[in-house]
A and B are shown apart, each in its own frame.
Chain A
Amino acid sequence: MHQDAHEFLNFLLNELVDILEKEAEAAKADAAETSSPSEKTANGPKNPQANGVLKEPLVTWVHKNFQGILTNETRCLRCETVTARDETFFDLSLDIEQNSSITSCLKNFSSTETLNAEDKFFCDKCCSLQEAQKRMKIKKPPHILVIHLKRFKYIEQLGRYKKLSYRVVFPLELKLSNTMEDADSEYSLFAVVVHVGSGPNHGHYISLVKSHNHWLFFDDENVEMIDESAVQTFFGSAQEYSSNTDHGYILFYESLGASSKS
C-alpha cells in the first residue's frame, strides 16, 4: 500500500499542532503564575480551528507559517444575499488540467461556480433551496503557501483512482491576485514533493529543496545539487503515455515578506 504524501503532510501539521497545544497546556499547568508570552494569542471566537479544537485556539508556529484564510462567498440568485463563510487552511488542493499552469489552476479554484439543479444552495433568507453563485477567495494568504495538485483522481467509469500525469507548469515566482488584500502577495518556490510512478497505488517520492540559493535533490539517502532549470523536468507529461513518471505533486512557496513591496 502506497502512502499519500499530502495525507502525510496534513497528518504531520495537525499532529504538530496537537503536540504544541499539549505542551502549552502542560506549561500553563506547571507555571500558572507566569503565562507563556506571545505564544498564546486570542484569535476571537469566530475562528474555530479546522481540526475541531473549539476551546481557546492556540496560535502555534504551524499556524503562523502555514495557515491562511479562505472566504467562501455564496450569492443567492433569487434574493442576491451574499453569505460569506471563512475557513482556515494549511494547503490549497487544486484541480488540474492537461497543459496548464499553477496560475490557471488557482484561477479556476477561485472562479465563480453556479450551484443549480441537483446542487442548489439553501438560502437562509429565502428559507429554501435556490440557485446560487459560489466562489472562493483567499482572505488571508499564508506565509508558506502549500499547493497540492490533485493528481490522484477517482475515475467513476473505472471505479478506481488514477494518476493524472498532466503537465502543470509552476513558476519559481508566483503572485496571488485573487486575494482580498490590497497588494498582490508575492511568493517564491522553495520546495517540491515529486511523485514518481505511473499509478496511485505504487511509486516513490523524491523532493527538491532550495537551500542557501541552491536546489538540492533528495532521493532517499542520495542528495545531489541540481541546477535551477532542472526543476522544470518535474512539470509532468504533455501526452498521456509518456516514459516520464516524475511529477510535481506538492509545491511549497514562501512569501517574500512585505506584501506591499513589488
Chain B
Amino acid sequence: MINTTNGMISTSSSSTANPQSPGLKTYFKTPEGRYKLHYEKTHLSGLLHSAHGKTVTQVTLAHLKDKPAPSTPTAPTSSFSASSGVRSAAARLLGAGNGSRALSFVGGNGGSKSLSGSSRIGSLGASSSSNSITNTNFDGKGTYLIFNAGDAIFISDLNSQDKDPIKSIHFSNSNPICHAFDQDAKDGHDLLIGLISGDVYSVSLRQQLQDVGKKLVGAQHYNKDSSVNSSRCTSIAWVPGGEGAFVVAHADGNLYVYEKNKDGAAESSFPVIKDQTQFSVAHARYSKSNPIARWHICQGSINSIAFSIDGTYLATVGRDGFLRVFDYSKEQLVCGGKSYYGALLCCAWRCSTFFYTVACCLLRLKSILFPQIPSLLFDIEYSKFLLNSIDAKYILTGGEDDLVQVWSMEDRKVVAWGEGHNSWVSGVAFDSYWSSPNSDGTGETVMYRFGSVGQDTQLLLWDLQKDEIVVPLRRCPPGGSPTYSAGSQSSHWDNVSPLGTLQPAPSMRDVPKISPLVAHRVHTEPLSGLIFTEESVLTVCREGHIKIWIRPGVVESQSSNSESMLSTSSKDKPLLSSKVGSSSYKQ
C-alpha cells in the first residue's frame, strides 16, 4: 500500500518537480521522516511587468467552503483565520484515525451547513461535468494558493498537480504586494489585496474564480488613488472576530483600520502626526467613513503584522527593529523589544492546535446539536474558554540580524535566539499541526515545532523545548565569575519588564541560543515565506515559485484512505475519499 502511494507521489513529482536547478533535493529528512516535494506552483514569468516597482511574492492560503445559501447564518467561527485543516484537525480529536470520514459522519447527521465533508460527492459530480472554471455554477470549493508576482495576483489550486495558476488578475496601475483571506467572511468579500500605491481592495475570491477576465471583479476600493496614505502597503490582515474589520500596514509606519461594510466613498482624514517617534491612535471624525482609525506605530516601514488567533493582540515588526505587541481593542502597547540589530521582517504567533481543535469541535457540536440557542450566549462561554486555553504565549520574529527570535508574552522579552540562517530571515511560522512525539499529556517536556525561511534559500525547522527557554544561558567569562548563579532554575533571569514598555536590544551573551533541527536548501532564489498545513509545508521564494513539501505521515494515511482510487487511474474519477477528493476534484 505504501509502495503504491509512493509510486503515485513520484510520478506526480517527476512531472512537476523537474530538477531545473541541480543540487536541490526533492526531499529532506527530519526525525519523524522524509518531507517530499509534492507539487510546485508558479506563474508564467513572461507575463510579468514590474514597471511599478519590485515586488516580493507573498502567499496566502484560502480555503473556500461550500457555497453558502444566502440566508444561512454563518457559524461564529470568524475568529479563526487559519483556514485549512480545521475540519480534519477537529475530526482527529474525535478519536477517529480517519479524520475526514469521522467528521463527515458528524456533519451528515446534523445536516450541517458549514461542514464541507458531507456534500463533497455532490460537488464533485458538478465539477467533473463542467470542465471550465468559467462556469458560474462552479462553486469553487477547495483550497487555493493566492500569491502576487509583478503586477498580478495568481490563484492556484493547492491540491492539483498543475504547476500553472488557474487564474491571474492583473492590476493596471500598481503592483499587488500583500493579501489576506478570511474563510468565514460574512458578505462574500473574503479576500483583501494591498498595492504598492497604497490602494486596498476587498473582493470575493469565489467571484474571481468564476470570472473569465484578467481584472478584479466586484471589488470594493479603499484608499482610492492613495487619498488617505500614499506609501506602499506592506501587510494586511482581517481582524479575527472583527465582523469585517481589517487592518493595513504601510511603509510610512502607519496602520489603518477599515470596516468593509462602511461606505467606501467617503474617505476619512486624520490630523497631522505631531511626534513621528511616538505611538498614537487617531479616530475618524465621521462614523461612516473609512478608514475608521489610524495607528501611527513607528518611524520607517511596518514590515509585517500578525493577530493572535483570538484577535486580542496585534503584533507588528518594522524597519526600526522593534517588535510591538498591542492590545487591539484597547489600542494600547502591551510589550515589545528590539532585534539584535537591523530591521525585523516577519512575525508569527503560536497557536495551539489542541485547544484550537477543542474549540472548533465545541462550535461544530453546538451548531449541530443546539442550533436554536442564540450564538451570543454560547460565544461568551466559548470565548472565555478560548482565552484561558489558547496558548498565545510565543511570537516568532525574523530579520536582518539572521536570527529567529522567540518572544515570550509571559516574560515580555526574548527568550531564545535561533542561529542557523546565513542571511536575513524572511518568514517564520509555528507548526501547529505537529505534535511532540513524547507529548503524553504530562506536560513535562512540551515541545514546539516551528519553521523559518531566509534569503539564504533555506528552510529551517526548529524544536523548542520548554525547558530550553526557561533556563537562562549561563556564561563563564574567562577568568570571571559566572554571570548567573548556576543553581537558579528561575524562568526569569531578569525581572519581567513593566507593561507597555519596549525592551532595548539584548546583548549576544544574554539570550539562550537554539540550533535548527533541519536546514535544507529548498529553492534557488531567496525565500519570502512559509506556511504549515496539515499535510504539508509550503515554501515560497521572492520570485513567485512555490513548493509544497508533503509531510512524512501523510502519504500513508492517504493510501489507507483511498485504496480504491489508487488502484485505478486517479484522473477524472469521482473520488469517494474526502481527503484525496479534495486534492484532485478539479482534474
A interface residue numbers (CB < 8 A to B): 97, 99-101, 103-104, 167, 169, 171-175, 177, 183-184, 186, 228-229, 233, 238-239, 262
Residues of chain B within 8 A (CB-CB) of A169 are 400, 423-424, 455
Main secondary structure of the interface of B (DSSP, over half): loop
Which residue of A is nearest B542, CB measured?
A238
7 A-B residue contacts at CB 8 Å? Answer: A101-B402, A103-B402, A104-B422, A173-B321, A173-B342, A174-B342, A262-B338
Which residue of A is nearest B301, CB measured?
A229
Q: Which of A186, A228, A229, A238 meets B524, CB within 8 Å?
A: A238
Whether B456 contacts A233 by the Cβ 8 Å rule is: no
A152–B507 CA distance with the chains assembled, in angstroms: 35
A250–B354 CA distance with the chains assembled, in angstroms: 51
Chain B: interface residue total (CB-CB under 8 A): 29
- Nearest-Cβ distance from residue A182 to partner chain B, whole angstroms: 8
Q: Is the C-beta of B340 less than 8 angstroms from some C-beta in chain A? A: yes
Residues of chain A within 8 A (CB-CB) of B506 are 262
Residues of chain B within 8 A (CB-CB) of A167 are 455, 526
Q: Is the C-beta of B525 less than 8 angstroms from some C-beta in chain A? A: yes
Residues of chain B within 8 A (CB-CB) of A239 are 524-525
Whether B505 contacts A262 by the Cβ 8 Å rule is: yes
Known: A174-B341, A174-B342. A233 touches B54 (CB 8 A): yes
B interface residue numbers (CB < 8 A to A): 54, 251, 300-301, 321, 338, 340-343, 400-402, 421-424, 455-457, 504-508, 524-526, 542
- Nearest-Cβ distance from residue B151 to partner chain A, whole angstroms: 19
Residues of chain B within 8 A (CB-CB) of A104 are 402, 421-423, 456
Known: A104-B423, A183-B507. A171 touches B343 (CB 8 A): yes
Whether B422 contacts A101 by the Cβ 8 Å rule is: yes
Whether B526 contacts A238 by the Cβ 8 Å rule is: yes
4 new A-B contacts at CB < 8 Å, known A171-B341, A186-B341, A262-B506: A101-B402, A101-B422, A172-B342, A175-B401
- Nearest-Cβ distance from residue A66 to partner chain B, whole angstroms: 21
A169–B402 CA distance with the chains assembled, in angstroms: 10
Whether B402 contacts A175 by the Cβ 8 Å rule is: no
Residues of chain B within 8 A (CB-CB) of A173 are 321, 341-342, 400
- Nearest-Cβ distance from residue B384 to partner chain A, whole angstroms: 40
Which residue of A is nearest B521, CB measured?
A99
Residues of chain A within 8 A (CB-CB) of B341 are 171, 173-175, 186
- Nearest-Cβ distance from residue A159 to partner chain B, whole angstroms: 25
Whether A99 contacts B423 by the Cβ 8 Å rule is: yes
A167–B454 CA distance with the chains assembled, in angstroms: 13
Which residue of B is nearest A172, CB measured?
B342
Whether A184 contacts B508 by the Cβ 8 Å rule is: yes
A174–B456 CA distance with the chains assembled, in angstroms: 18
A171–B504 CA distance with the chains assembled, in angstroms: 18
Residues of chain B within 8 A (CB-CB) of A174 are 341-342
Residues of chain A within 8 A (CB-CB) of B456 are 99-101, 104
Whether A171 contacts B401 by the Cβ 8 Å rule is: yes
Residues of chain A within 8 A (CB-CB) of B321 are 173
Whether B526 contacts A262 by the Cβ 8 Å rule is: no
The 4 closest A-B pairs by CB, nearest first: A171-B342, A171-B400, A104-B422, A101-B423
Whether B343 contacts A172 by the Cβ 8 Å rule is: yes
